[in-house]
């Protein structure tokens, strides 16, 4: 093989091409994967802006990944073969800590996330542990690159222990909010989606037939947004997912939760989040964090995609080749009314 082409985020605001040494043969328990698609999400955009938690520079980005197996040991216990198309689970857990022993690999004490704590998949070849490869003969590389993002929503919905009589509210109509929406729906609910961006809400209504509520700005703590009770049948939601990562929205979300309800923080911020303890106690709110996803979530997403119940490829609005990504990234940062999901092609 020739030297590998990669793209590295050297420092905030500076993406550069990089030539790496030849890809070494995979070690026992690994496969060498040729990367085909890299999804760009809020983590990557925040890293570019210099505001992503748990991040250090320089770093090869890329944790929403699909590829094809180039090399793998024969007769491996996962039945993987060269040529298999796969989604890559980017969460490298230790297997020994208290969280891992209880199956909570998504929040391992020594977790290394590709593209965040360790160099990711914005390169031609990537060695991947066999257990982190989820193959599908049916799905395209585009679809497989969206599995990680969808798994975040699947995990959030599972974390919330949704019940048939729940009234659900999703704050934020970005990709993670959309992913949470579709898996809350698969659990039998009809969530309300709230956002400040009319174009995002238009997409929710037109592409997903979702109920929506527009607000002018993330509400400050003190009272629920106007129209929320009416949109929820006269009562507050029993389950609220904050998918914004916006600290003002996250602080205000406590006001949106019904007595006995749950609030799930899916988005992440560097800022401290405070709340009024009397309100929190009076309503006996359960506050939950939802981080990453597990292999179980990946399998659930793959089944949903293969059955045709999801069509997330409609969410893809922007593309670039790996050679053009440094030029396109600032435009993606700027966003715009039609920006939802970008893919880098290899």
Report pLDDT digits (tens) over 296-341: 999 999 999 999 999 999 899 999 999 999 999 999 988 777 899 9
Whether the CB-CB separation of 284 and 310 falls below 8 Å is answered with: no
Confidence of residue 1 (pLDDT cuts 50, 70, 90): very low
Query: Which pLDDT does position 73 carry in this prediction?
Result: 95
CATH code given to domain 4-150+292-345: 3.90.180.10
21 pLDDT more than 90: no
Spatial separation of the C-alpha atoms in residues 85 and 67, rounded to whole Å:
6
Q: What average pLDDT score do residues 83-89 get?
A: 98
Query: Which pLDDT does position 219 carry in this prediction?
Result: 81
Q: What average pLDDT score do residues 253-258 get?
A: 97
In angstroms, the Cα distances linking 93 to 62, 97, 220 are: 17, 9, 37
Record the tokens describing residue 129, joined without a space.
């542990």
Residue 69's DSSP bridge partners are 33
In angstroms, the Cα distances linking 138 to 48, 58, 70, 302, 308 are: 34, 36, 18, 10, 11
Query: Which pLDDT does position 262 carry in this prediction?
Result: 98
Whether the CB-CB separation of 147 and 298 falls below 8 Å is answered with: yes
**CB-hemisphere CA count at 13 Å for 31?**
30
Confidence of residue 2 (pLDDT cuts 50, 70, 90): low
Query: Which pLDDT does position 270 carry in this prediction?
Result: 87
Domain ranges of the chain: 4-150+292-345, 161-289
Task: Tell me which DSSP letter residue 192 carries.
Answer: E
Q: Residue 129 contacts by C-beta under 8 Å, 6 or more apart in sequence?
A: 29, 30, 92
Local structure of 189: helix, strand or coil: coil
Which residue has 């690159």 as its token pair?
145
Whether the CB-CB separation of 128 and 238 falls below 8 Å is answered with: no
Long-range contact set of residues 278-287: C-beta below 8 Å, sequence gap at least 24: 279/254, 279/255, 280/254, 283/257, 283/258, 283/259, 284/259, 284/260, 285/254, 285/257, 285/261, 286/261, 286/262, 287/262, 287/263
Q: What average pLDDT score do residues 280-308 get?
A: 98
Q: What average pLDDT score do residues 182-189 get?
A: 97
Q: What average pLDDT score do residues 125-131 get?
A: 97
Spatial separation of the C-alpha atoms in residues 50 and 61, rounded to whole Å:
13
Query: What CATH fold (topology level) applies to the domain 161-289?
Result: Rossmann fold (3.40.50)
| Residue bearing the bigger pLDDT, 165 or 3 | 165
What percentage of the chain exceeds 90 in pLDDT?
A: 88
Nearest to 315 by CA among 185, 183, 203: 203
φ/ψ of 149, rounded to 5, equals -60, -45
Q: How many residues does the chain have?
A: 346
Q: Out of 17-21, 74-78, 84-88, 139-143, which region has the weakest mean confidence (pLDDT)?
A: 17-21
Record the tokens describing residue 189, joined without a space.
């609910």
User: How is 197-215 classified by DSSP, letter by letter?
Assistant: -HHHHHHHHHHH--EEEE-
264 pLDDT more than 80: yes
Whether the CB-CB separation of 58 and 8 falls below 8 Å is answered with: yes
Average model confidence (pLDDT) across the chain: 95
Q: What average pLDDT score do residues 223-249 get?
A: 95
């Amino acid at each position: 093989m020739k030297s590998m082409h990669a793209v590295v985020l050297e420092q905030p605001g500076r993406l550069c091409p990089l030539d790496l040494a030849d890809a070494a043969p995979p070690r026992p328990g690994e496969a060498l994967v040729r990367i085909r698609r890299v999804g760009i999400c809020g983590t990557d955009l925040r890293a570019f802006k210099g505001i992503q938690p748990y991040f250090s520079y320089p770093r090869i980005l890329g944790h929403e990944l699909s590829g094809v197996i180039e090399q793998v040991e024969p007769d491996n216990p996962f039945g993987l073969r060269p040529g298999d198309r796969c989604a890559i689970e980017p969460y490298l857990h230790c297997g020994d800590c208290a969280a891992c022993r209880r199956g909570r690999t998504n929040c391992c004490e020594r977790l290394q996330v590709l593209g965040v704590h360790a160099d990711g998949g914005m390169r031609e070849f990537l060695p991947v542990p066999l257990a982190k490869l989820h193959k599908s003969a049916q799905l395209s590389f585009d679809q497989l690159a969206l599995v990680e993002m969808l798994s975040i929503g699947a995990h959030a919905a599972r974390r919330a222990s949704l019940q048939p009589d729940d009234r659900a509210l999703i704050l934020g109509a970005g990709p993670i909010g959309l992913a949470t929406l579709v898996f809350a729906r698969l659990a039998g609910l009809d969530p309300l989606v709230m956002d400040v961006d009319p174009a995002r809400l238009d997409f929710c209504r037109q592409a997903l037939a979702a109920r929506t509520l527009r607000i002018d700005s993330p509400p400050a703590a003190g009272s629920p947004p106007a129209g929320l009770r009416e949109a929820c049948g006269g009562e507050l939601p029993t389950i609220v997912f904050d998918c914004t990562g916006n600290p003002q929205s996250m602080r205000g979300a406590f006001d949106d939760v019904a007595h006995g309800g749950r609030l799930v923080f899916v988005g992440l911020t560097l800022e401290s989040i405070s709340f009024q303890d009397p309100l929190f106690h009076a309503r006996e709110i359960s506050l939950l964090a939802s981080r990453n996803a597990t292999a179980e979530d990946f399998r659930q997403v793959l089944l949903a995609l293969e059955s045709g119940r999801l069509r997330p490829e409609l969410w893809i609005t922007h593309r670039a080749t790996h050679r053009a990504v440094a030029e396109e990234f600032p435009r993606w940062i700027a966003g715009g009314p039609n920006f939802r999901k970008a893919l880098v092609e290899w």
